[in-house]
Amino acid sequence: MNSNELAVVEQDEQGTRVRFVRHLKQPVEKVWAALTENDQLKQWFAELRVEDLREGGVISFDMQDGTYEKFEILELKPLSVLEYTWAEDRVRFELYPEPQGCRLVLIETIVRVTDHTPKDVAGWDVCLDVIEALLDGRTIASRKDIWEGKYEQYRNRFAELSQG
């Protein structure tokens, strides 16, 4: 999957899973640092902060109103897996070494799809674009423009799914 492809969205009785895949040019260690080290994390998701990097530890989300949502780290395998709660949902990053870098897989497990879900999914997609750009030493001029295009595509995708 390159940054122009949409994530795979699957639904069953267990809920909805959104799976993104990126083939990155950097080794696992550099990508892991982007996911877990606060100085790098804030460059692609400014509201997130790792408070305690361990299973049972906490990642906090700044609600921008003086409050913080706390997400529990459910699984942590250094340089391989980082999974945490996201309110009632789950976010899971997996890293796999490849000859030319590594494969980054992001799986969001969604309990209940709402009108806001396509916005969130488009947001994760843009975050992955930003991670890739930062690791490549590039910048993205307008995250909002990219997000708007992806949001429209995901909104259509979730509308199709809801129609059966």
| Structural domains of the chain ordered from first start | 8-162 (3.30.530.20)
pLDDT tens readout for residues 24-49: 999 999 999 999 999 999 999 999 99
Counting Cβ atoms within 10 Å, is residue 154 exposed (0-12), middle (13-18) or buried (19+)? Answer: buried
pLDDT tens readout for residues 77-120: 999 999 999 999 999 999 999 999 999 999 999 999 999 999 99
Residue 141 is predicted with a pLDDT of 85
pLDDT tens readout for residues 52-75: 999 999 999 999 999 999 999 999
DSSP SS3 for 15: strand
pTM higher than 0.85, yes or no?
Answer: yes
For residue 19, give both structure tokens: 């799976």
**Is 164's pLDDT higher than 90?**
no
CA distance 136 to 139: 9
